[in-house]
Homo-oligomer: A and B are copies of this chain.
Amino acid sequence: MTNTSDAARAYSRANGERFLEELFETLRIPSLSGDPAHKGDIRRMAEWYAQHLSGLGLQNVQVMETAGHPVVYGEWLGAGANKPTVLVYGHYDVVPALMEDGWDTNPFEPTIKDGKIYARGATDDKGQLFIHVKALESYLKTAGAAPVNVKILLEGEEEVSSPNLMPFIEAHQELLKCDLCVISDTSMRTIDDPAILHSLRGMTYIEIEVEGPREDLHSGLWGGAAHNPANALVEILAKLYNADNTIAVPGFYDDVVPLTAEERAMIAKTDLTPEQFMQSTGVPQVWGDANFNIRERIAARPTLDINGLWSGWSGPGPKTIIPHKAGAKVSSRLVGNQDPHDIFEKLKAYIESITPPTVKVNVSLLTTGKPALFPFDTPVMQAAARAYEKGWGAKPIFTRGGGSIPIVAEIADLMHIPVVMMGYGLDDDGLHSPNERYTIEMFHRGIETAIVYLEELANM
């Protein structure tokens, strides 16, 4: 039996070169969301996608305004009310890229070398989001219909923390109503090890400032009876960890969902050796909580890292002062079901409780993100696994991502739907770095996988 997905896959293979050329058009538009100078490029990019989606036969295509950069929306609802509706989320904005940062080629003129596309946004996220657009096209241009209803939502502010996305979704819940959300904005270890993420870490990011004297003091005239705020700060920060590298903040682990034996067995398959970890990072030795393997530590367990430290004199040579203040940026990567605001309160209370009365401390919240944790024995997850097996050609693992995409948990919570993270990138694609790249084969196999997924969703 020839089913419609076979025809769509054949179409996608036959049109692979043109798909790439279209992707290159998107990569040439420097849609930097963080730089006001590129506001026009962001708009041009949104309009490009809208025009493209309309051209493919999607309906109700709109460039929709928000308080910031616009959202692009388009839908194909021809599968009917009896079939599931999938919401594809992607983002069309990118982070900055300058030749002087170390790019070998123009970051906004895609260049192919050794089967890879070098360009800003190639993997994050223009290359990955386009996979879903081309999968839908492949159905519409062959069978004239897709197996399920598809809504496409493209954001232009992901790289600046999506300040306007949740208000947009809240305001358009009827329009966006769906049964699941698919996001392709993550990665796998190697091309033969596809991964479906069922978890992302969340975040509580704080700033700590310790104040001592009114102004910098001469360390000779006053040193010995003034508690140096830099000394006080390091004493406070050193108490954030226990000797066994667990976090000392009372109640910190209270809401952590324990890893099941089944999940640990699955994670063990993707564990790194100490040598691999040392080679990837350059650290002299692996560190962490000895009760968990390396993959668990970096993806399935919460952390508490100092991201920045400052006090007094950091220029060349000596300066003999007692600084009047000292500060640190500290962030915690959270796992399900830790609540970022609860963790903030616990951090703040603990830091205040261990601050001696010889200095003053101020703990402020910079940003939060909820962790996401989805079960993977659900129909939509199992359908995704089958899609990789048939479309990609390899059985995927369900794994956890150590990073944070706060909108994943927010979308799931607000819309009461599962979010399936089918990453079509590679771990070493260098996103946000110079020479960001995307493997062409990943793009093509991704489209075939996405094609199969729509069919699998119809057959759940």
A positions within 8 Å CB-CB of B? 201, 203, 205, 212-215, 217-228, 230-231, 233-235, 237-241, 277, 280-289, 294, 296-299, 301, 303, 305-314, 317-324, 326-329, 331, 333, 356-360, 366-367, 401-404, 427, 432
Contacts and interface: CB of A to CB of B under 8 A. Distances in A.
A222 B307 CA distance: 13
B326 A309 contact: yes
Nearest to A205: B318
Given A231-B306, A235-B241, 19 more contacts: A215-B282, A220-B401, A225-B277, A225-B287, A225-B288, A226-B283, A226-B287, A227-B285, A227-B288, A283-B358, A287-B358, A306-B323, A307-B321, A308-B313, A308-B323, A309-B311, A309-B326, A310-B310, A313-B329
Contacts of A238: 234-235, 237-239
A231 to B, nearest CB: 5
A319 B306 CA distance: 10
Nearest to A280: B222
Nearest to A294: B225
B281 A217 contact: yes
Given A225-B298, A283-B226, A287-B225, A305 B213 contact: no
B303 A309 contact: no
B306 A314 contact: no
Contacts of A219: 303, 305, 307, 331, 333
A233 B234 contact: yes
Nearest to A214: B282
B309 A228 contact: no
Contact of A220 (B201, B284, B306, B308): B201
Given A220-B403, A281-B213, A306 B228 contact: yes
Contacts of A359: 283-284
A221 B402 contact: yes
9 contacts: A205-B320, A217-B281, A219-B305, A219-B307, A223-B402, A230-B306, A284-B358, A310-B310, A310-B311
A309 B310 contact: yes
User: Most chain-B Cβ atoms within 10 A of its Cβ — which of A215, A283, A356?
Assistant: A283
Contacts of A215: 282
A63 to B, nearest CB: 28
A239 B235 CA distance: 8
Contacts of A321: 307
A271 to B, nearest CB: 11
B234 A309 contact: yes
Contacts of A324: 282
A224 B402 contact: yes
B402 A214 contact: no
B308 A319 contact: yes
A320 B203 contact: yes
A314 B308 contact: yes
Contacts of A404: 220, 320
A367 B224 contact: no
Given A203-B320, A284-B359, A333-B223, A312 B314 contact: no
Nearest to A243: B235
B298 A223 contact: yes
Contacts of A403: 218, 220-221
A312 B287 contact: no
Given A219-B331, A222-B402, A307 B320 contact: yes
A289 B108 CA distance: 62
A237 B277 CA distance: 27
